[in-house]
Every structure is written in C-alpha cells, then in structure tokens.
Amino acid sequence: MTASKENIIADDQQEALLQRKIREVELIKEVSAQVNKTLDINLIANTMLSLMDKHFGFKHSMILILDDAKEQLSVLATYGYEEDGIGAKVKVGVGVIGMVAKRKKLMRMANMGMQKSYMQAVKKEVIKSNNEKVKEVGKLPGLQNVESQVAIPMELDDELVGVFSVESEELNLFNKEDEMIITILANQTASALQHANLYTLEQERLEQLNKAHSELADLNHNLEKKVEERTAELVELSKKLAKYFSPQVYDSIFSGKLDVTIKTQRKQLTIFFSDLQGFTELTERLEPEVLTELLTNYLTEMSKIATKWGGTIDKFIGDAMLVFFGDPSSNGSKNDAINCVAMADEMLKKLREIRNQWLGRGVSKTLNARMGIHTSICTVGNFGSQDRLDYTVIGNGVNLASRLESSSEANKILISEDTYLLVKDEFDTKEKDTISVKGFSYPVKTFEVIGRKENSAEVNLPLHKEIPGFSLSYNPSELSDNETAIKLISDVLMRLEKQEINKSQK
C-alpha cells in the first residue's frame, strides 16, 4: 500500500472518529437538555428510555431505583414491554440486575448457551419470599426470546442511584464503543433523577409542614377560643368577687400588693360611721321587697360616693356603713381626713334627693342619716382564720367613730377633735358637747360640720340669676336682715320640694 493510500485511510478514520465524537456530544447535550428540564421523576425516566431507543435502537429497557435502605431496587419506568411492571422489586445481589447494583459494574449477557442461566436469574429477580424486608410487588418485565441483556449501574458521586437495563432478541445489543457514552448518559440521568427525588422529598416535607402548620393553627385557634372562654369566665367571676370587696382592697389583692394571709399593721386612719335614724320603725311598715329595694338604692348611691372620694368600704351592717380612709392607699393623714368629711357632706346632699324619691313612692316616714368621723391610729389588715379572712379595721378609734355617729343629730356630721384639727381649714364647724366613750379616760371634744368653706371674696360678691318662673337677686352689701333672708330661701326650697313630689306622684 502506498503512502498516499495510507494517508487517505488515516484521514477517513480521523473523520469518522471526529463525526462520532460530534454525535456523542450532541447526544449528551440532547439527553441533558431533556432530562434536566423537569423535576418530574417519572417523566425524566421515560424521556431517557425514549432517547435510548431513538439513538441506539433499545426497544426494550427499564430503569430501577435503589431504595433508601439500599437493600432493593424497584422498577421506576419501562419501555417496549407489554406489561410495564412498575413497582416490581429486585433484591440487591440477586440476579443480573441485583449483582450490578451490588458490584456497581456493568454486566453483559449474550448467546443461547447463557439462556438457561439468564432465565434462572430472571426468576430470582421476581421476589416471592415472605421476607419482611423484601416482598414481591408485581412481576419484573422480561422478553421470552431474549438473546442478550446489558445492565448498567447509574451512579452519582460514586453512589448508586439505580440500574439501567436493556434486553434484546438480537445477539449483540450494542458494540463496546457505545458502552462509555451509554454509561455517561445513564449517570447523567441518575443525577437528574436524584435532583428530582430530592425535590419530591422536599415538596413532601413542605406539604407535611404545611399540614402541621394548619393543624397547629387550628390547635392555636381552639386554644385561643378556650382561653377566651376561660378568660370570660374568670372576668365574670372577678366581677362577682369584686362586689364582696372594696375597690381598693380588690385591686390590691389582684395586683399582688396585698397578700392573702393573716397580716395586720398599725396606721393612722380616718373612720366613718353612718346609719339611718328610724330605720327599725320603717322595717315594720314596709313589705320586705320594697324595703330591700329602698335600702339597696340608698347603699348603692352611698357606695358610689365613698368610692369616688377614695374610701375603703369595710362593711354594711343593715342600714349602717363603715368606711375608712388611709389604707390600703393613702393621700396623707390630712387629705384622708378632708376626703372623708367631703364624702360625708356629699352623702347628705344625695340623701336629700333619695328622700324625695322615697316620699314620691309613698314612704311617709322621713329618714335621716347620722354620721360620725374620727381620726386615730388603728389596726388594719386581714383578720380571721386560716380558711376565711376579713379585711377590716379594729381599735378604740373605731369605737369612738361609732359613738360619734350615735351622738350625732339627724342629717348632721359629728367629728372628733382629732379630725377637726386636720379639716378646720377646709370646713366650717361648730363646737358641740363633749362625750364620754368607753375606753377613753377623758371626755372627747366634738364638732359639727356646717359645710365647706367658701372663698370670702366670692361670698361677698353680688349674685343675680333669673330663669322662667324664678328670679334671685342677692347683694351682701345691701342685705341688713340675714335671718329673714334665710327663712325666705327655706320657704322657697320647701315649696320646690313639694312641687317635685307632686310631679312624681302623678
């Protein structure tokens, strides 16, 4: 052979090799583009099998995936078989496919001499045992007249992902030159399958998280609803309990400032006592239902005034009230005493309104309140047993306040000298007789509260008011007979009260 002929042959071989490499690159690109454009694991597997038929003429093929336990493979996709056999399982190390999975080496079987062995291997691949780890799920696909089989491990970073198996009725399935490119394509598909599997697992995990989140949201909603219901019950219970305590005591208990234990202390307090004169006689005249309504009305209005001025309502004893200032909170002894007297003064004014209402309802017996106030050191706190406590005040100061109340005239406020010294700058008073009180070795000076002091400059200013049906003109500098003026005003007030009663009776 001449040199020129040898060169021509060499050139042809180089050209053929070049064209083959170009075809292989194009094939790799095509397979890569197809299997990587989706994350559907089944679509990837079926696409790869279809491309294998297109480029290599593999009419019968399948892909099996290794399970997480790395103990068995299951059929993911098949191509060209009458029965797809999806889900059929092969134990690692059993049969041709199982051995390829175990060794991670390509295996090729051909010629009739191997047919018998091949069929025996196929039978082994069909799992019929009752082994708990591997149970038969469907029949593995296979050709009856098979002449050759090739099984190729599908790997990613030296880790087995699955096995690609091809069968043919022809003796030679593919030449050895195609072996490398098919292995590359198989591994490329393995990568796509692994990514798709991870995506599927992530979606499943996300779905589980969403489900758990939904269940948690429902649980939280139910829990919030139960908390709201329980809170509403506690609020309702709290409202009921509040009626058994003075607002200050109630707030101190539920804010944690006041321990629910037997505990007392000595403090300077201003004590207020009041009762209704003639109440016993009224109980004999009225029906119990009417009496209860009237007494509730009276005590409710008095309680509102006591709370307004910061008094701690100790207890109700029939028509009587015991209120003290200076605990659990205090504005200082002087201000506590002033607030207590101001409270009593407002109570008398309110009683006048209530009295008119009672008269309008036919209660002819006029009721009058007597009030007594004293300021001194007392013992205050929780008294009682380990099982039942009463927040109250005790001491001689309480007894003196009660004695002042019983010594007071109707609709008057009688205060002790101790209280007088604290409020004299705020209230006009008139000294009354001394009284003797059990537990005191000396007579107690008493003072009657006339009313709150007015600004002297304001008292001396002229006053002129006029409304339809009523006219009032007052000039202190021209008035010479105060007593007559007081009688005139009293007469007008009496007529207005009677007129109001007549209106309410109609």
Residues β-bridged to residue 406: none
Domain contains 223: no
The DSSP bridge pattern shows strands 368-384 and 412-416 to be: parallel
What residue numbers bound the domain in which 486 lies?
460-506
Q: Which residue would you say has higher pLDDT here, 242 or 47? A: 47
Query: Same domain for 373 and 327?
Result: yes
Single-letter amino acid, residue 324? F
Backbone angles phi, psi at 22, to 5 degrees: -65, -45
pLDDT, tens digit, for every residue of 265-284?
A: 899 999 999 998 877 777 77
Whether residue 387 has pLDDT greater than 80? no
Beta pairing partners, 151: 107, 165
Task: Tell me what pLDDT residue 405 has.
Answer: 94
pLDDT at position 248: 57
Q: What is the pLDDT of residues 85-96, one digit of tens each?
A: 888 899 998 888
358 within domain boundaries: yes
Question: Structural domain tally of the chain?
Answer: 3
- Asked if residue 281 is part of any domain, the answer here is yes
Instruction: Say whether both 142 and 34 belong to one domain.
Output: yes
Identify whether residues 466 and 369 lie together within a single domain.
no
Instruction: Please state, in angstroms and rounded to a whole number, the distance separating the CA atoms of residues 453 and 425.
Output: 8
Round to whole Å and give the CA distance between 271 and 325. Answer: 7
CB 299 within 8 A of CB 356: no
Q: Is residue 225 part of a domain?
A: no
Q: What b/e readout covers 236-250, taking b as 16+ CB neighbours within 10 angstroms? A: eeeeeeeeebbebbb
Name the 3-class secondary structure at 432: strand
Same domain, yes or no: 343 and 197: no
Dig out the tokens for 306 from the structure: 């006591």
346 contacts: CB under 8 Å, gap ≥ 6: 305, 308, 309
Task: Give the pair of three-digit tokens for residue 417.
Answer: 């000298």
pLDDT in tens, 284-307: 778 888 888 888 888 999 999 998
The pLDDT of residue 348 is above 90: yes
More confident residue, 189 or 309: 309
In a domain, 228, yes or no: no
Residue-by-residue DSSP string for 205-263 = HHHHHHHHHHHHHHHHHHHHHHHHHHHHHHHHHHHHHHTTS-HHHHHHHHTTSS-SSS-
Residue 175 corresponds to which tokens in the numbers above? 């030449």
Which span out of 208-217, 297-306, 355-364, 472-481 was modeled with the highest average pLDDT?
297-306
Same domain, 385 and 493: no
Token code pair at residue 312: 């701690």
Domain C-terminal end among 409, 425, 453: 453
Same domain, 27 and 110: yes
Q: How far apart are CA 116 and CA 152, in angstroms?
A: 21
439 lies in the same domain as 479:
no
Q: What is the CATH number of the domain that holds 377?
A: 3.30.70.1230
Q: What is the largest CA-CA distance in the chain?
A: 163
Considering the domain architecture, whether residues 430 and 474 belong to the same structural domain is answered as: no
Q: Could you tell me if 143 and 69 lie in one domain?
A: yes
Q: Indicate the average pLDDT of the chain.
A: 79
- Residues 266 and 381 reside in one and the same domain: yes
- Domain boundary pick from 453, 469, 488: 453
Tell me which of 203, 220, 248 is where a domain ends: 203
- Higher per-residue pLDDT: 4 or 179: 179
Residue 216 confidence class, pLDDT cut points 50, 70, 90:
confident
